[in-house]
Structure 1
Amino acid sequence: MNPIRNLEKLNLKLPDVSVPGGSYVSVNIRENIAYIAIQFPILNEEYFYQGRLGNEVSTEQGYKAMKLCAMNVLAQVQNKIGFDKIVGLNHIDIYFQSGTNWDDSPIVANGASDLFVKVLEKKGKHSRAIFGVEKLPRNFSVGLTATFTIIKE
């Protein structure tokens, strides 16, 4: 597994890590599990994909928003842990806000799932849960949390 090379093949570059918007840490390590705090579609401190899926944000845009959230997860992991210490991605939780009749959350969730498998290969296979919520901070359409098993130092 070479995540950096895989990102280059996809013509992607890790974004700068965002800083927490409250009293918490972006990456919390307990034993050999790393918990990544919720990541939103933010790039260089600029907000993207705000609004409700199915209303202001299309399903295709939602897929891209989730991919950006996954890129932010990978940036946090590389910055705080290092790809070389990843045993595997365990689980992701996907949060979204949508209009009343929109029902394409699995397609949007694949924006993260597809990227994790392409970049981390076998170590990127994971389980996931998808939650529709009434409101996300800053009116983001989506958010993503993740847990990884890592090599304990």
Structure 2
Amino acid sequence: MSAEQKLKDLGLTLSATVAPMANYVRFKKVGDLVFLSGQGPRNPDGSIPAGKVGKDFTTEQAYEFARNTGLGLLAAMKEAAGSLDKVEVIKLLGMVNAVPDYGDQPKVINGCSDLFVAVLGENGRHARSAVGMGSLPGNMPVEIEAIIKVLP
């Protein structure tokens, strides 16, 4: 089953790719590798939610933010590779804007990881880091970047 069909079966649609907020590109191709710039979650109106996990948002809410961010990353992957069926996720870096004593960063970033495996199957499994941050741009709760391989 194609990745596009899996998205439909999950009742999901890819978000529109968003123009970078500064002097960088959405992704950079190097051979068959693609380095995706960090993205954060978007509200339905396109705005970015703001706040700290452990204070303003629960772990469960942050999981959904990471899942939402994953949809944006999948859109960038599709743009870079031409098809999600030609994508293998290699590495994620998940950053969580959290209070200092927060320790559930991996549970938050699972929102993105779980989505990738649900949509891409084995090609969605990846190496990963999930870390806490004192702040993120725009006070967004989650930012995730990825490295993918474009398959022949």
TM-score w.r.t. length of structure 2: 0.93
Structure 1 distance, partners of 2:39, 2:6, is 21
Measured after TM superposition, the shift of residue 81 of structure 1 is: 2.0
Residue 10 of structure 1 corresponds to: 10
Give the unaligned 5+ runs of structure 1: none
Q: Is the 8 A contact 2:94 2:131 kept in 1?
A: yes
Structure 2 distance, partners of 1:78, 1:97, is 27
| Stretch moving more, 37-46 or 54-63 | 37-46
1:30-69 to 2 correspondence within 5 Å? Answer: 30-43=30-43, 45-48=46-49, 50-69=50-69
SS in 2 for 1:46: coil
Q: Which amino acid aligns with 2:48?
A: Y
Q: Which amino acid aligns with 1:46?
A: S
Measured after TM superposition, the shift of residue 84 of structure 1 is: 3.5
Q: Which amino acid aligns with 1:102?
A: Y
Number of aligned residues: 150
SS in 2 for 1:42: coil
TM-score w.r.t. length of structure 1: 0.92
1:136-147 to 2 correspondence within 5 Å? Answer: 136-147=136-147
Q: Is the 8 A contact 1:18 1:45 kept in 2?
A: no
Residue 27 of structure 1 pairs with residue 49 of structure 2: no
Residue 150 of structure 1 corresponds to: 150
SS in 2 for 1:47: coil
Q: For residues 89-119 of structure 1, what are the alpha-carbon distances to aligned partners after superposition, in whole Å with 9 as ceiling and x for unaligned?
A: 1000001111133221111011011000000
Measured after TM superposition, the shift of residue 147 of structure 1 is: 0.6
Task: List, as ranges, runs of 4+ consecutive aligned residues in structure 1 with deviation greater than 6 Å.
Answer: none
Residue 115 of structure 1 pairs with residue 105 of structure 2: no
